[in-house]
Amino acid sequence: MARTITYREAINEAIAQEMARDERVIVMGEDNVGGTGSPGEMDAWGGVLGVTKGLYGRFPDRVMDTPISESAFVGAAIGAATGGLRPVVELMFIDFMGVCFDQIFNQAAKFRYMFGGRAVTPVVIRTMWGAGLRAAAQHSQSLLPVFTHIPGLKVAAPSNPYDAKGLLIQAIRDDDPVIFAEHKMLYDTSGDVPEDSYALPFGEADVRREGDDVTIVAIGRMVGTALEAADELAGSGISAAVVDPRTTSPLDLDTILELVEDSGRLVVVDESNPRCSLASDIGAQVAQEAFGALRAPIQLVTGPHTPVPFADSLEDLFIPDASRVAAAVKTAVDWTK
């Protein structure tokens, strides 16, 4: 039975249900319990934004605090995954990949291939991404393109509570290493989520809105922004489809191509920096595979080629909003040779 719960609660519920189902699942990260060795209460934090709150009480032997040593504990999670556990490790902010990236991209991602198919590394690396929290340049990035680039990793970026639960359950059950990217601005958003456990397959896009004139592909928080733009455009007589890939690796290019074959126009919305981005990647693949169907240049709506600024006046300019998406759609629709 579905209830309305938050994105944060959906993630917590997914972990709890998998821990109850499979005793190989362990949780570790900075303050994931919150309070280990401290004079006050255990589970004081349950993660820096409270996502793992309460898990320690139910599974005290399987939820672990770590020192602030991302290389050691992300690497330990990867090593433990090769040794039969199914760790869910938290790399608090995606920006912190810089202090532990070797363990992710040179170790976890490559074991299976470079060991000739003889390794299985079922680790989930949960991490917060995205701008909007006035957290400035080192706590606001959208580095999904970096992970998506790397063969051997899977990357999930849920845009709503229902997808968050189903994709995380799939991530935990998956035998490959998964980067599970939680957009920090979505934690308090709500939606209908079944109580029962369910897994959503990777590589299956969700067409969130049908539309004939243009296909908008949006990722993470930008799905909501694209839907807002589509509502706005409907008032101007423009019918926009909105597609959420849900996972960027694997990417459901087929669904995107089918829609573009019909609409002839593509707008890709991603808050990442523009160069070598998800927007440029999806745009390039569509240009290569469906050039004949295109009736207008592909429009990419991204953040600028800058770090994420602190001041709210600047950060609000950095993040694509519905009016920018709508403007890009109008450029595509109005385009003539």
Partner 1 sequence: MTGTLSSPTAQELTPDELLEAYRTMRTIRAFEERVHDEFAGGDIPGFVHLYAGEEASATGVCSHLDDRDAIASTHRGHGHCIAKGVEVKPMMAEIYGKLTGSCHGKGGSMHIADLSKGMLGANGIVGGGPPLICGRALASQKRGDGGVGVAFFGDGASNQGTTLESLNLATIWNLPAIFVAENNGYAEATSSSWSVATDDIADRAAAFGMPGVIVDGFDFFAVHEAAGEAVARARAGGGPTLIEVKFTRYYGHFEGDQQLYRADEVAHARENLDCLKRFRARVTADGQLDAAQLDRIDADVAALIEEAVAEAKAAPKPGADDLLTDVYVSY
Show which residues are catalytic.
Answer: 139
The DSSP symbol for 228 reads H
Out of 16, 51, 81, 294, the residue judged to bind partner 1 by CB under 8 A: 81
Give CA–CA dist 133/88, Å, rounded. 25
Give CA–CA dist 61/64, Å, rounded. 8
Closest by CA position to 236, among listed 203, 266, 214: 214
254-313 residues in contact with partner 1 (CB under 8 A) are: none
Selected range binding partner 1 among 79-87, 160-168, 277-285, 305-313, rule: CB under 8 A:
79-87
Q: Which is nearer to partner 1, 75 or 166 (CB)?
A: 75
The 10 Å CB-count burial string (b at 16+, else e) for 198-227 is ebbebbebbebbebebbbbbbbbbbbbbbb
Q: What's CA 337's distance to the chain center, in Å?
A: 37
Q: Contact at 8 Å (CB) between 163 and 246?
A: yes
Q: Structure tokens of 59? A: 């599974």
Q: Which is nearer to partner 1, 73 or 187 (CB)?
A: 73
Give CA–CA dist 54/220, Å, rounded. 26
Q: Does 20 bind partner 1 (CB under 8 A)?
A: no
Q: Does 111 bind partner 1 (CB under 8 A)?
A: yes
Q: Which is nearer to partner 1, 113 or 335 (CB)?
A: 113
Residue 61 beta carbon to partner 1: minimum distance, rounded to whole angstroms: 8
Residue 69 beta carbon to partner 1: minimum distance, rounded to whole angstroms: 4
Residue 21 beta carbon to partner 1: minimum distance, rounded to whole angstroms: 17
Give CA–CA dist 26/66, Å, rounded. 13
Q: Does 66 bind partner 1 (CB under 8 A)?
A: yes
Selected range binding partner 1 among 44-52, 117-125, 224-232, 265-273, rule: CB under 8 A:
117-125
- Map residue 241 onto helix, strand or coil: strand
Q: Does 69 bind partner 1 (CB under 8 A)?
A: yes
Q: Contact at 8 Å (CB) between 270 and 222?
A: yes
Residue 143: HSE in the Cβ half-sphere, 13 Å Cα cutoff: 21
Out of 75, 211, 224, 245, the residue judged to bind partner 1 by CB under 8 A: 75
Give CA–CA dist 122/323, Å, rounded. 41
145-204 residues in contact with partner 1 (CB under 8 A) are: 151-152, 154, 174-176, 203
Q: Which is nearer to partner 1, 69 or 306 (CB)?
A: 69
Residue 286 beta carbon to partner 1: minimum distance, rounded to whole angstroms: 20
Q: Does 38 bind partner 1 (CB under 8 A)?
A: no
Closest by CA position to 269, among listed 254, 256, 288: 256
Q: Contact at 8 Å (CB) between 309 and 294?
A: no
Q: Does 35 bind partner 1 (CB under 8 A)?
A: no
Out of 1, 40, 41, 67, the residue judged to bind partner 1 by CB under 8 A: 67
Q: Which is nearer to partner 1, 219 or 251 (CB)?
A: 251
Residue 60 beta carbon to partner 1: minimum distance, rounded to whole angstroms: 13
State the DSSP H helix or E strand holding residue 318, giving kind and residue range, or none if neither. helix 312-318
Residue 45 beta carbon to partner 1: minimum distance, rounded to whole angstroms: 18
Selected range binding partner 1 among 60-68, 236-244, 284-292, 311-319, rule: CB under 8 A:
60-68
- Map residue 173 onto helix, strand or coil: helix
Residues near partner 1 (CB under 8 A) are 26, 61-62, 64, 66-67, 69, 71-85, 87, 102-103, 106-107, 111-120, 151-152, 154, 174-176, 203, 250
